[in-house]
Amino acid sequence: MYGRLSVSIIEVIEEFKRQNSEYADQRKALDMCGTLSERFKYFASMYGLHVEMWSFNAAYEDNPDPSIYPKVRCKNESGDCPCEWHVIVDAGMFYIDWSVRQYTLKTEYPHIIVKKEAMHL
């Protein structure tokens, strides 16, 4: 009934990353989480892939990566204070954060977080 997708999620991530490389810059990534997540959702849909947007507050237990998203609002390396609320992409077994650099430069762009439940498969 359904044929194999002609493109993988990894290929879509790499192409979106290439087209949006400026958001690896900390200041340009600041406050862009909703916009970039929405853009990626639309971009992925053009390839027949379905992803969702997911928001969380870093101070609460649904924080997917406390090593990146501080529970207390603090300044990043550029001296800016990113919001506690954050929007990322839910791609099934993992999350994709296109504006992660607003929190720290010490992570890959984009930041991929494997969901805890995926680790048990």
Report the DSSP pairing between strands 94-97 and 111-114. antiparallel
Q: Report pLDDT digits (tens) over 17-73.
A: 999 999 999 999 999 999 999 999 999 999 999 999 999 998 887 889 988 888 877
| Residue 90 near residue 112 (C-beta atoms within 8 A) | no
Region 66-91: mean pLDDT is 89
Task: Report the pLDDT value the prediction gives residue 120, as an integer from 0 to 100.
Answer: 54
> What pTM, to 2 d.p., does this model score?
0.87
* pLDDT of 121 over the 90 cut: no
Residue 53's contacts (CB-CB under 8 Å, 6 or more residues apart) are 34, 37, 38, 41, 87, 88, 89, 90
Distance CA 41, CA 53 (A): 7
* pLDDT of 2 over the 60 cut: no
* pLDDT of 4 over the 50 cut: no
* pLDDT of 103 over the 50 cut: yes
Task: Name the strands in the sheet holding 85-90, side by side, starting at the edge strand that comes first in the sequence.
Answer: 52-57, 85-90, 94-97, 111-114
Residue 106: CA count within 13 A, CB half-sphere: 6
